[in-house]
Chains A and B, each alone.
Chain A
């Protein structure tokens, strides 16, 4: 097996160290390590992190291969520094059977850019009526532990309760897309001052907050754990904070775009800013950053949602919801959390690797950078500054809200179990 010596990297942002990869594992960490025939990667000044883990990715395959495939999506993930992604279930067919989740899992393994851990649907066809075969998906080769109807809310309180109870049998978790459906009929953007002016249907914060409140109470009642997807409002933060203080087993994620962008962008009527949950207010953005820093929000998840050009190059109401995010996530987190002093790089490793791996049960990912651990690693040039150019994306889709925006940081290398998937910013 090949050896790689990463020389002089700031491990988790700390003092420069050398890290020796031997085969699939980390063989040595120290200073002045002997290369001993290993391929040397000069990492002077760069930050070495455990490979990032995304608990919320849309890979679109099967069914919408015009937007993304497991191959293009995992290449995008590797470009962004990820070594594992959890693929959401809202494909066609829906990932609600062992067969579909195994297919997605195997495609990820075969392509070899990034481990793909499928998320199973909570209900058959995401219809919210009947539980999918959660146990069969767990027992399949894919070993599903995270279940979500993401894109839709499990709004029936009884179905949600049963799902929370049922997955306890195998340590699963239900990831809720919190969106009260009746309160968000015709919703196009955050409900408030801007929606009133633009005449776009409002998506009120309470539609998210009321479902989160209900679900943490359900989780408490049945003694299960619940994960809240893409939390987006200051009120949601307060509810999760309260639930945690009460000992309820709840975890929550925030997307990079909700850490950076506000509803003011919608004034352009450019559907590249159309996303679900919608971009909120400045006040919400600050609450989310603070909550991610203090641990109320556990992780950053991309909600990478690729769409073909024609689904965005149209009038706002007709456009699809979602943004791509895998290739820009770390830069946005650097800009919003690190450069604002809210989080150090160890904190980034925790929020973008260790914790998401733990919540999703991704074995071998999110581990410390230490001897004997799997060599899932990401090297970041944090001094880099540049404009986002979607033409260079590995993702099949280009629906990024950051085109032309200057963002800091650039992932130069990614290793998946010792194998380089990204070298000097280029996919292998």
Chain B
């Protein structure tokens, strides 16, 4: 393991599998009467959120607290890009307070990379979403969810996602979730297909380790998992697609389309869902949809990442682990 987690692309297959396996151990904690491990007792972690994200922050906070870390929440919404120095100043303030790790969400792509590599601080940096770049713990929790559903909870231990066919649908251009997932799923051996209108696929996507299709219907029967990405309504005003209805007709997932997926295939969504736009209520509420599991799994994954990055003292994984370098 590296010292920071900035991009899903930085993870090797063994790193990723180790995190997923560790997360299975962490998930057991949630089944206990007292959902807490002493692993990070005495460690201080700051959740540094320059951008609103209640879900991600709470997920990290829950993970940190279940590992007994001391948690500081810092919200600096809107102040970052207008005053560039605030990231550096804020980081150094936190460093001065003896912080061990910084979980950062930032609207600017590359801000966590800068934080980790500019010499401003010594703490471990965990990217909790930066601009349209990366959101590695989201990709990990998605992979964890897929492995549990498509390989099996116990059968999955030590396994990757070789041969699984995963389809990501929607606003790839602006999606850090898509970028992270393409990187990680490829590393884990899955075959990834991106489906979107051409306006929402970045120029340069040709070098990504995935297929690109503009046609959802032909892709669905070949998918083991279909992940719907959120489409912001304001994209319509920027002429990425003509109307909301047209988008839904061509790229939305409804009951009819879901019926074309293989029996075992699951529907995923990173949330928050825009019901009626990219996904209908019928699909969102079906038992094939894993949105709620993804949220629960997010806590386990973040516990695993924090545990592995901060090198806890207590063993968390009971089976053989690959070599860990800190």
Binding site for B on A (CB under 8 A): 188, 191-200, 202, 204, 268-270, 310-311, 313-319
Contacts and interface: CB of A to CB of B under 8 A. Distances in A.
A315 B132 contact: no
Given A269-B113, A316-B110, A199 B88 contact: no
Contacts of A191: 203-204
Contacts of A316: 108-111, 114
B202 A195 contact: yes
Given A194-B204, A318-B80, 15 more contacts: A191-B204, A197-B179, A199-B109, A200-B131, A202-B204, A269-B109, A269-B113, A269-B114, A310-B84, A310-B85, A315-B80, A315-B108, A315-B110, A317-B110, A317-B131
Contact of B84 (A199, A200, A314): A314
Contacts of B134: 199
A196 B114 contact: no
B interface, how many residues as a size bin? 20 to 34
Interface string B80-91: 111111011000
Interface stretch (B142-150, B205-213, B246-254, B294-302): B205-213
Interface string B94-130: 0000000000001111110110011000000000001
A195 B131 CA distance: 12
- Which of B88, B134, B202 has most chain A Cβ within 10 Å? B202
Nearest to B132: A199
Given A199-B134, A317-B131, A204 B179 contact: no
B131 A199 contact: yes
Nearest to B201: A196
Interface string B184-207: 000000000000000000111111
Nearest to B120: A313
Contacts of B176: 199
A200 B204 CA distance: 12
26 contacts: A192-B203, A195-B202, A196-B205, A197-B179, A197-B204, A197-B208, A199-B130, A199-B131, A202-B202, A269-B109, A313-B85, A313-B118, A314-B84, A314-B85, A314-B88, A315-B81, A315-B84, A315-B106, A315-B108, A315-B110, A316-B111, A317-B108, A317-B111, A317-B131, A318-B108, A319-B84
A194 B179 CA distance: 12
A188 B111 CA distance: 14
B85 A195 contact: no
Contacts of A202: 202-204
A210 to B, nearest CB: 15
A194 B111 CA distance: 16
A196 B210 CA distance: 13
A196 B82 CA distance: 24
B133 interface: yes
A318 B81 contact: yes
Nearest to A268: B117
B81 A193 contact: no
Nearest to B183: A197
Nearest to B83: A318
Nearest to B174: A199
A269 B130 CA distance: 12
A285 to B, nearest CB: 18
A46 to B, nearest CB: 39
Given A199-B109, A199-B132, A200-B109, A318 B179 contact: no
B202 A196 contact: yes
